[in-house]
Each structure stands twice: as structure tokens, then as C-alpha cells.
């Protein structure tokens, strides 16, 4: 990408980089068109610089990526209200691990955290979350009955958070594919039941960086079901670039807030647009 | 979400009918549409490149030129080529002459290995085998418990001598698992391993050590149907690390096109043996290349 004159091979290389990073054909071709126009218009040939600029702009460094994790007081009753975070996504993307890591971050900020094991379906899901709770030193609310109502467990977790005057309640949910109507309805119910305690502050959709074009579908359907407020992009420690989030952010208007960089408790970081773009072009 | 190849080509060929032979521009437009359709289905770039080069000639020869509906003819050819690649070496599970047969599962984090272990155990039992599942993921929190629960649900024995959560040596457990099977008369051993990244040299070495310790008859690469462009590198890394013998596609009950199927078969030369189609034990079937081709092309 460092040639003086920009030939067709270079444009193909650019297109390949973008498509290879899972940006998708539509967005990649659009971006290449815009680049071509800009370089021609400005009489420039430094493709890489302008490509980086355009990508950073597409990822939008101006978005507010902070998490709503501050406890409040109920305006009518005056009761203590912990911030409630619901973590959702398809199977195996890293929801439970993210809840564990996020709890670690919050504990490091001196917050009192309660975990809710609303995955009552998958084998040993509640045990997995409880292990994370023990690892980072926070209590986990779970049901002892296999197949218990996930909405009831989520409700109980927030109730415990209110009683313990916790700052944040993190609710882990079962993985579900977005084309399963009944499971998406179930997730909607979990959220509505939790809302009896007051509004849910964050709904984090976990997307696996290895995910291809289906990621956009996931984002759409989960957003319709539970109004996603932020994306967590996991498994960025591998070779996958997670380019699908560019289209996801644009379509949903919801920012990527956190990235997962490994399986350990400390492997969660804020999303940095410039770093993300540099890794994408690497 | 994306236009199917059929729709794309209908648009491409709209002006063609009655015009006679395909012009060089028609040829390029056709190949471009095939390329885009495959990329939208998550087939990896290098694989798309090789595939379109291979179908180019056939898709533009007389069988298309003479066709009443050239668009449909191209779709048919692409579909046939996909089925050939996806099913080229279709075969059954390889069983050892001297039991126990050892099946090792490997793949990225969260792909569906532990779930598959339960399904395979259940399926093998239905086939009259006496399988045992071996818990070699001693890393992910409660992976051992998860396998034990799956084994219990499937009515299949689980060998889990170490508690996991960071305690125990997976290579040693794998070796002991095979000894255990031999001593107790289990004829198939399914080795569940921890999820790992292809780029994680230490963990790939560990996987390779597990393989060396148990000399598996099958090393199955468990692959999430939702994976995108990284499928090709990942598959190569696992193939280099543990010498894959077969592939299992998971989460095919979703609506991802699953183009990674083509990528992985192309770069590893290993056939896809099974499809995992849900979270329940019975959501498991023999892989159908024709269904997969239709799915990739959205037909
Ligand atoms: N390399 C890497 N692995 C991760 C990351 N986040 C999670 N994992 C691993 O991915 C696998 C799945 O993680 P889970 O947290 O169980 O995923 P989940 O979404 O809760 O899965 P289900 O509840 O079964 O849908 C585990 O092996 C995790 O250790 C990450 O950022 N990087
Ligand atoms: N819908 C659907 N979910 C599946 C399928 N196979 C596995 N899962 C789910 O995917 C998630 C991850 O499955 P696991 O079996 O834990 O995956 P794994 O590869 O063992 O994960 P690690 O051990 O953490 O690397 C779980 O929620 C499973 O229930 C499938 O075919 N369809
Ligand atoms: K990655
Ligand atoms: Mg989970
Ligand atoms: Mg597992």
C-alpha cells in the first residue's frame, strides 16, 4: 500500500484487506469507492493514510462508550437501586466470561457487584458463573433447579442487589440463536420481569470477533428483542479482526464498548477505535 | 439479508436473453456476482478466488451460452461444483481395527466441542457402541462438570479424574482415558479438549501432545457455522497443529450461510462428517453436502 501511483492491484489489495477483516462486501466496496474519489479529488496517493482515516471515521471515535454502572435512588420510593446490566448473545460467544471479567473491573473500582445466573439451560452454566464469582470475590444468585425460569432468577438477582445495596447487578443469560423465536421471546420476558425493579441500565450484546456476516443479523434481532445499548467484541486475541462491528455500529447506532482479549479475568479492555483500526490494517 | 446468487445473476443476465453468446463483459460480471455471493456467505477470500477461477471456464462454456436461462444454468453449475467439493471425500467415522477407537475433538473456544462430545456419545451408544467421554478441558471454568452433565444426560460414561479449573494435566488425563477404556471394555473414546486459538503456540503444542499421547483414529475439527473470513487461517493452523482427519459443523440450526464449510474442506482436505443442529443431545446428523451447498447459495 505504499506505492506512489495507485493502480488497480492496489485497490484490489485494499478491498481484500477490508473483506478479509469481515467488514462485508457492501461496506468494503463503498469504502474503496470513497477512497478512490477522495484520493483523486485531493490529488493524493497515500492510500494507507487515507484508508486509516476513513476507517477511524467509520468506527467513530466520538461515540460515548461509557458503561451505565452507577447505582441510583428510586425517585418515587427513595429506595436504593443498583445499576442493572443484562448480557445477551448467541451461543458460545463469551457472555459468561465477559460477566466474570466485567465484575473484576467493577470490583477494582470499589463497586459492590452481584451476579445473576439466568442461564438455567446449558449444562453447568450456573456453576461456571459461580466459579467466576468466587474468582473475583462477588456473590452469585442462582437456582438449584435445572431448567428453572430464567426470568425468576434474574428478578431474584436484582432483588438481592437491592437488599445488599449493591452498585451493579450483572445478569448472565443463556446463549440463543437469533432465529429461534421462542428463545428470543423468553429473553424479552427476562428483561421485562427485571424491569419490575426499575429500568435496565445496560443491555450488552456479546459478538465473537470470529463471526462473519451473520453478526449483523444477530445485532438486528437482539436489538429488536431487548434494545441493545452496547456491544462487547470478544476473542480479539486471535487472528479475526471483528470487522462486522463497523456495520453493526452504523446500523444500530450502538457503540462497541468493550473488547475481550483472552480467557483470563483481566482480559477485558475498553474499545479503542484507533487500536481497532490499526489491528484491522495490520 | 443478502441477495442470493440466483437473484444476482437474474439481474446480470436480464439484458442477455436473445443476445446470443456471452461477451467478455458478461463473463466478468458473472464471475464477479459469484464472488460476491460466496463472500456474503462467508467463504474465505483465497478459497473464493480459487473456486471462481475453477468454475469460470465451465460457467462460461457452451452449456451456459446455449441455455434458455443462462443465469439459472450458472447457478446450477456453481451448485454442482460446491456439492462436489463439500462431498468429494464424504465418508463414515473411521473405527479402529483394535478397539478402542479414539476420537479427539479440537477447535476454537465456544465452537461446540463439549456439547458435541455428549451428542457423539449418545449417537455411538445408539449404534451399539460402548463409548466413554474423557474430560481433558481442565482450563475453562467447570468444563469438567459440563461434560459430566452431558454424559449423564446421554447415559454415557465420563472419565474425569481431575477437577479442572486449572488443576490437572490434560495430556496425562487423555492417556489415562484410553487406558481406562481398554481396562473397562469401552470401545470408543471421545476426548474433549479445551478451546484454543490457532495462534496460541503453547496451547496448540498441548493439543499436539494430547494427539501424540492417544494416537487418535479421528481428529475432528469442530467449527461454528457463523465463522467468517478467519476460518481459512484457523483451519490451517489446527491442521498443522493436530493433523485433522474430519470436520463437524455446529450451530447449523442458525441462519448463517456457513460458507466456512467450503473454506475448511478446501484448505484441510478433510471431509465434513457431521452436522450439529441444536443444543439438545439428538440435534446431530450426518452431514449432507447438497443441503450445505444450497444453504451457501441461499437456494
Ligand atoms: N480467546 C478468547 N477466548 C474467550 C474470550 N472470551 C471468552 N472466551 C472463551 O470462549 C469460550 C466460551 O465462553 P463463555 O463465556 O462460556 O461463552 P457464553 O457466551 O457464555 O456461552 P454459552 O453460555 O454457552 O452461550 C470459553 O472457552 C471462554 O474461555 C476472549 O476474549 N478470548
Ligand atoms: N444452537 C446451537 N447451539 C449449540 C450447538 N452446539 C453447541 N451449542 C451451544 O454452543 C455453546 C458452546 O458450546 P460448548 O459445547 O460449550 O462449546 P466448546 O467448544 O466446548 O467451548 P469451550 O470448551 O469453551 O471451547 C453452548 O451454549 C452450546 O449449548 C448447535 O449445534 N446449535
Ligand atoms: K481475533
Ligand atoms: Mg454462558
Ligand atoms: Mg468445551
Residue to mutate, A92, A128, A271, ligand 1, most ligand atoms under 8 Å from C-beta: A92
d(CA B251, nearest CA chain A) in Å: 8
For a mutational test of ligand 1's pocket, the pick from B105, B107, B110, B234, i.e. the residue with the most ligand atoms closer than 8 A to its C-beta, is: B110
The CB of B75 under 6 Å from ligand 2? The reply is: no
Residue B153 with chain A: CB contacts under 8 Å: 123
* Strand pairing report for B272-276 and B246-250: parallel
| pLDDT number for residue A3 | 46
Summarised one tens digit per residue, pLDDT across range B38-81 is: 999 999 999 999 999 988 888 777 787 777 777 788 888 999 99
Q: Which chain A residue lies closest to B200 (C-alpha atoms)? A: A238
**pLDDT per residue as tens digits for the range A168-185:** 999 999 999 999 999 999
Question: Which of ligand 2's atoms lies nearest the C-alpha of A174?
Answer: 27
Give the span between the Cα atoms of A189 and A193, in whole angstroms.
Answer: 6
Question: Phi/psi class of residue A212: alpha, beta or left (left: φ > 0; alpha: ψ in -120 to 50)?
Answer: beta
Distance B200 CA to ligand 3 centre (A): 11
Q: Is A279 on the interface with B (CB under 8 A)?
A: no
pLDDT band at residue B15 under the 50/70/90 scheme = low
What single DSSP character describes residue A90?
A: S
Measured CA to CA, the distance from residue A217 to residue B1 in angstroms comes to: 8
Shortest distance, CA A235 to any CA of chain B (angstroms): 9
| pLDDT for the residue B90 | 66
Task: State whether residue A264 sits within 8 Å of chain B by CB.
Answer: no
CB contact under 8 A, A213 and B40: yes
Which residue among A22, A121, A135 sits closest to B228, beta carbon to beta carbon?
A22
What residue owns the CA closest to ligand 1's atom 13? Answer: A94
Q: Of B142, B149, B230, which has the smallest distance from its Cβ to A239's Cβ?
A: B230
Question: Nearest CA to CA, how far is B96 from chain A (Å)?
Answer: 31
What pLDDT score does B1 carry?
A: 56
Rounded to an integer, the average pLDDT of A93-119 is 98
Q: What is the ipTM of this complex?
A: 0.96
Residue position matching grid coordinates 436473453: B17
Digit-coded pLDDT (tens) for B242-262: 999 999 999 999 999 999 999
| Closest ligand 2 atom number to CA of residue A176 | 1
* Mean pLDDT calculated for residue range A46-50: 93
pLDDT at B273 over 80: yes
pLDDT band (50, 70, 90) for residue A2: very low
**In angstroms, rounded to a whole number, what is the distance separating the alpha carbons of residues B42 and B36?**
10
Strands (DSSP E) along B164-229, which ranges? Answer: 188-193, 218-224
Give the gap in angstroms from C-alpha B147 to the nearest C-alpha of chain A: 8
Best to test chain A binding among B5, B52, B109 (most A CBs inside 10 Å): B109
pTM score above 0.95:
yes
A212 and B255: CB-CB below 8 Å? no
* Cβ–Cβ gap B110/A240 under 8 Å: no
Closest by alpha carbon to B283, among B249, B259, B242, B255?
A: B249
Report whether residue A125 contacts ligand 1, using a CB cutoff of 6 Å. yes
Average pLDDT of the residues of chain A: 95
- Among protein residues, the one with the nearest Cα to ligand 2's atom 14 is B112
DSSP A147-185: T--HHHHHHHHHHHHHHTT-SEEEEEE----TT-HHHHH
Alpha helices per DSSP H over B2-106: 5-12, 24-40, 45-59, 62-65, 70-87
- pLDDT(A210) > 50: yes
Chain B interface, mutation test: which of A8, A14, A89, A92, most B Cβ atoms within 10 Å? Answer: A92
Residue B33 has pLDDT above 60, yes or no: yes
pLDDT digits (tens, 9 = 90+) for A233-258: 999 999 999 999 999 999 999 999 99
pLDDT on residue A11: 93
Q: How confident is the model at residue A127 (pLDDT cuts 50, 70, 90)?
A: very high
Cβ(A85)–Cβ(A141) under 8 Å? no
Most A CBs within 10 Å: which of B153, B226, B232, B238, as the mutation test of the A interface?
Answer: B226
CA–CA distance, B83 with B98 (Å, rounded to integer)? 34
DSSP, res A263: S
Q: For ligand 2, is residue B152 a contact (CB within 6 Å)?
A: no
Amino acid at each position: 500500500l505504499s506505492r506512489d501511483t495507485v493502480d488497480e492491484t492496489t485497490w484490489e489489495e485494499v478491498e481484500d484487506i477490508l473483506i478479509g477483516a469481515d467488514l462485508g462486501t457492501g461496506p468494503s466496496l463503498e469504502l474503496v469507492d470513497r477512497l478512490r474519489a477522495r484520493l483523486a479529488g485531493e490529488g493524493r496517493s497515500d492510500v494507507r493514510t487515507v484508508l486509516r482515516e476513513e476507517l477511524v471515521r467509520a468506527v467513530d471515535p466520538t461515540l460515548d462508550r461509557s458503561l451505565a454502572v452507577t447505582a441510583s435512588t428510586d425517585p418515587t420510593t427513595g429506595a436504593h437501586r443498583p445499576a442493572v446490566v443484562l448480557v445477551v448473545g448467541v451461543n458460545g460467544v463469551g457472555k459468561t466470561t465477559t460477566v466474570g471479567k466485567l465484575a473484576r473491573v467493577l470490583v477494582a473500582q470499589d463497586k459492590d457487584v452481584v451476579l445473576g445466573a439466568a442461564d438455567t439451560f446449558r449444562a453447568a452454566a450456573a456453576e461456571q458463573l459461580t466459579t467466576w464469582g468466587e474468582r473475583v470475590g462477588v456473590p452469585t444468585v442462582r437456582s438449584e433447579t435445572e431448567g428453572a425460569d430464567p426470568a425468576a432468577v434474574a428478578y431474584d438477582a436484582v432483588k438481592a442487589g437491592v437488599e445488599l445495596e449493591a452498585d451493579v447487578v450483572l445478569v448472565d443469560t443463556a446463549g440463543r440463536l437469533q432465529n429461534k423465536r421462542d428463545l428470543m421471546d423468553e429473553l424479552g420476558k427476562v428483561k421485562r420481569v427485571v424491569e419490575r425493579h426499575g429500568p435496565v441500565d445496560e443491555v450488552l450484546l456479546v459478538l465473537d470477533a470470529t463471526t462473519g456476516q451473520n453478526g449483523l443479523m444477530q445485532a438486528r434481532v437482539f436489538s429488536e428483542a431487548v434494545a441493545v445499548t452496547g456491544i462487547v467484541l470478544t476473542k480479539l486475541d486471535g487472528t479475526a479482526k471483528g470487522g462486522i462491528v463497523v456495520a453493526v455500529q452504523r446500523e444500530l447506532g450502538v457503540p462497541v464498548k468493550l473488547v475481550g482479549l483472552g480467557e483470563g479475568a483481566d482480559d477485558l479492555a475498553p474499545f479503542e477505535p484507533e487500536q481497532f483500526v490499526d489491528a484491522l490494517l495490520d | 439479508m443478502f441477495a442470493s446468487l440466483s437473484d444476482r445473476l437474474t439481474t446480470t443476465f436480464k439484458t442477455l436473453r436473445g443476445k446470443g453468446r456471452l461477451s467478455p463483459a458478461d463473463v466478468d460480471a458473472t464471475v464477479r456476482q459469484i464472488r460476491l455471493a460466496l463472500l456474503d456467505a462467508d467463504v474465505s477470500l483465497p478459497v473464493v478466488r480459487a473456486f471462481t477461477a475453477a468454475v469460470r471456464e465451465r460457467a462460461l462454456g457452451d452449456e451456459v451460452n446455449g441455455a434458455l436461462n443462462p443465469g439459472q444454468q450458472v447457478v446450477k453449475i456453481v451448485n454442482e461444483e460446491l456439492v462436489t467439493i463439500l462431498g468429494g471425500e464424504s465418508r463414515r467415522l473411521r473405527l479402529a481395527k483394535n478397539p478402542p477407537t479414539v476420537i479427539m475433538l479440537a477447535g476454537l473456544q465456544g465452537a461446540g466441542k463439549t456439547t458435541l462430545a455428549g451428542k457423539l456419545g449418545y449417537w455411538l451408544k445408539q449404534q451399539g457402541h460402548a463409548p466413554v467421554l474423557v474430560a481433558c478441558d481442565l482450563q475453562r471454568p467447570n468444563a469438567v462438570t459440563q461434560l459430566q452433565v452431558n454424559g449423564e444426560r446421554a447415559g454415557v460414561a465420563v472419565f474425569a479424574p481431575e477437577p479442572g479449573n486449572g488443576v490437572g494435566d490434560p495430556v496425562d488425563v487423555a492417556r489415562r482415558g484410553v487406558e481406562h477404556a481398554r481396562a473397562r471394555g469401552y470401545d470408543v473414546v471421545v476426548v474433549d479438549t479445551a478451546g484454543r486459538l490457532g495462534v496460541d503456540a503453547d496451547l496448540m503444542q498441548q493439543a499436539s501432545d494430547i494427539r501424540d499421547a492417544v494416537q487418535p483414529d479421528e481428529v475432528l475439527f469442530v467449527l461454528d457455522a457463523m465463522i467468517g473470513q478467519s476460518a481459512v487461517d484457523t483451519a490451517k493452523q489446527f491442521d498443522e497443529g493436530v493433523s485433522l482427519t474430519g470436520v463437524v459443523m455446529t450451530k447449523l440450526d442458525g441462519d448463517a450461510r456457513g460458507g466456512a464449510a467450503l473454506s475448511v474442506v478446501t484448505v484441510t482436505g478433510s471431509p465434513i462428517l457431521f452436522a450439529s443442529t441444536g443444543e439438545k443431545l439428538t440435534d446431530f446428523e450426518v452431514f449432507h453436502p447438497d443441503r450445505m451447498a444450497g444453504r451457501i447459495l441461499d437456494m
